[in-house]
Structure formats: C-alpha cells, structure tokens
C-alpha cells in the first residue's frame, strides 16, 4: 500500500508540474501578444466640429452598433466576468470620470478605430476595429464627431483581465478576429476610396460590413444564437423580393410573419437606413454566391 501511495504521489506531482508549466507557457505566450507595441502613425483626418445629431441613416447609424457593446450611453459595461473567461469590459467613451472622451486626441480615436491600438501602442482586446477599419475617411470622421457629442457620464469600468480559457482560445486560434484586431489589420494598407453612395453592389458591400459582424464574412450566418441567418441567395431570404427585404428591416416582421428579436437582430437601428441604402445592401446580398446551409 505505501508503495501505491508513493506512486500516486509521484503521478500527481508530475501532473501538477505539467499543469503549472503549461499554464506558465499559456500566460507567457499570450502576455507577449497583449503587450506587443504597435507603432502606428494614424493617417490625418479632417474631423468636423459638428454634425447633424438628428440623422440615423448611414453612417449615423454606426453609433448604434457601438452601443451594442459600449452600452446605451456609451459609458462602457462589463461584458463578461468569470473565473475561466476573465473580466472583459468595454471602455467608457464619454468625457465623464473613467472615460476616454476627455483625453483622447483625434489621433487616438483614429488609432483605436482603424488599428485596434491604444494610445500606449498596446492592442485593444475585443474591440472590432477590423470592421471599422473599412470605413471611409468621411464616414469615420462623422462617427468620431457623433461619439464625442454624447453626454459625459461618470463610470469607471474594471480593467480587462484575461482568464485561462480565453488565453487558451487565443493560443489555439479558436476565437474571432476581433479578440485582438490589431493582429489581423494590415496597418500599412492604402485605404481604398469608399464607393459613391447609390443603389450599387459596391455601396451595398461597403455598408454590409456591419451585417457581417453577426452574419459572417460570407453572410451565410451560423448555427449559434446571435450569429444570424443565411442571407445569401441560398438562405432563408432566397424567395424574397427587394420590397419584402426593405419591409422586414423597417418593421422587424418577415414575409412569413415571424418577428425578429431586436435584441438579437438590430433591425430597430437598421430600419433608419434610407431606402436607397437598404436597396444597395439587398443588391449586394443578391450578388453573393449562394451558400447552402442546414441551419436557418
């Protein structure tokens, strides 16, 4: 018996050692990525002092997408807080106490939104700058002015602290690109001109980037809740007309009578796009290769 217990001790000791070593490696690998310094010289942008605060069409509607994560008053919120995942909070974007609004320069806004990098040069975690990177100079400038125009709210959010599970997901690559968007952005890329507004596939594709955050890069949706439906000509909308598409996004009611949950599918923000903008997105969706999926 004592022999068995001794062996058990050895096995447990080895296991504990392996666990410690791999946890150590996990932290070392991820800390290196989290502390990497990016030297970004943000491209200059003319940011207007004022914009029309009553408009809700594109690009004004973009602020609604910030609110999905940064909270209805943009004062930041805890998105996740548990032992395995860690603590994730979106920043307070206003000029109130605990917010960045009062200290961020034009350059800081551009660095964060186009490059996913903080003023210190370190990468932001969980901020989808790879999406906002595609915005034209004009649209980004309007967006920054809109965010700056939000009332100041005092709210100190906890610092982001990554738990072991998220670190494991980072190392194995089983996490979306916006976990560390600075890693997937081509920081030196020449910015293509935005397509001129109009009912064109190109303009629809340009705006459709925000839909892709849920519906996926190929717009074919996904099986998990919140991933959205397959919007390609192989999906649920294959028999819809343009009129039905516009009507669905304005009312949240699909042609077959289903109501779309605004908590999942933000049609109550998308409904503010102009007819022309919605029709351009429809044209773009129709131009996509049909993806056949099992899920709806």
d(CA 250, CA 17): 59
**Minimum distance between the CB of residue 173 and ligand HEC, rounded to whole angstroms?**
19
Interface residues for ligand HEC in 85-114 (CB under 6 A)?
Answer: 88, 90-91, 93, 100, 112-113
Query: 3 vs 296, which CB is nearer to ligand HEC?
Result: 296
Q: Give burial (CB, 10 Å; 0-12/13-18/19+) of 9.
A: exposed
Q: 34 near 110, Cβ under 8 Å?
A: no
Nearest to 90 by CA among 106, 101, 74: 74
Using CB under 6 A as the binding rule, whether residue 232 contacts ligand HEC is answered as: no
Q: 159 near 98, Cβ under 8 Å?
A: no
**Minimum distance between the CB of residue 266 and ligand HEC, rounded to whole angstroms?**
5
Quick one: which of 236, 268, 271, 293 contacts ligand HEC (CB under 6 A)? Answer: 236
Quick one: which of 25, 261, 274, 289 contacts ligand HEC (CB under 6 A)? Answer: 261
Query: 65 vs 203, which CB is nearer to ligand HEC?
Result: 65
Q: What contacts 98, CB < 8 A, 6 or more positions away?
A: 76, 92, 154, 155, 156, 157
**Minimum distance between the CB of residue 3 and ligand HEC, rounded to whole angstroms?**
52
**Minimum distance between the CB of residue 233 and ligand HEC, rounded to whole angstroms?**
12
Using CB under 6 A as the binding rule, whether residue 124 contacts ligand HEC is answered as: yes
Interface residues for ligand HEC in 267-296 (CB under 6 A)?
Answer: 270, 281
Residue carrying the six token digits 């605990």 = 98
Q: Give burial (CB, 10 Å; 0-12/13-18/19+) of 41.
A: exposed
d(CA 150, CA 63): 10
Binding site for ligand HEC (CB under 6 A): 62, 65-66, 68-70, 88, 90-91, 93, 100, 112-113, 118, 124-128, 132, 143, 147, 160, 210-211, 213-215, 226, 228-229, 231, 236-237, 248, 254, 258, 260-261, 264-266, 270, 281
């Amino acid at each position: 018996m004592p022999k068995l217990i001794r062996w058990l001790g050895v096995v447990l000791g080895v296991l504990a050692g392996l666990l410690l070593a791999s946890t150590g490696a996990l932290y070392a690998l991820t800390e290196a990525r989290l502390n990497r310094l990016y030297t970004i010289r943000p491209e200059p942008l003319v940011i207007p002092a004022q914009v029309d605060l009553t408009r809700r069409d594109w690009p004004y509607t973009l602020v609604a997408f910030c609110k999905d994560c940064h909270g209805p008053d943009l004062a930041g919120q805890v998105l996740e807080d548990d032992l395995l995942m860690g603590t994730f909070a979106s920043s307070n974007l206003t000029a109130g106490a605990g917010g960045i609004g009062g200290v961020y320069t034009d350059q800081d806004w551009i660095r964060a939104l186009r490059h996913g990098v903080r003023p210190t040069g370190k990468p932001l975690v969980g901020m989808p700058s790879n999406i906002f990177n595609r915005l034209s100079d004009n649209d980004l400038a309007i967006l920054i002015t809109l965010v700056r125009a939000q009332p100041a709210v005092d709210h100190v959010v906890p610092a982001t602290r990554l738990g072991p599970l998220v670190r494991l997901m980072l190392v194995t690559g089983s996490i979306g690109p916006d976990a560390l968007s600075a890693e997937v952005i081509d920081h030196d890329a020449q910015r293509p001109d935005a397509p001129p507004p109009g009912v064109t596939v190109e303009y629809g594709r340009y705006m459709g980037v925000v839909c892709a955050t849920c519906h996926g890069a190929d717009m074919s949706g996904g099986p998990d809740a919140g991933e959205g439906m397959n919007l390609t000509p192989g999906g649920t909308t294959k028999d819809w007309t343009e009129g039905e598409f516009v009507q669905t996004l304005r009312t949240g009611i699909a042609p077959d009578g289903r109501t779309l949950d605004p908590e999942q599918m933000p049609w109550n923000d998308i409904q503010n796009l102009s007819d022309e903008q919605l029709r351009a997105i429809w044209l773009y969706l129709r131009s996509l290769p049909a993806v056949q999926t099992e899920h709806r």
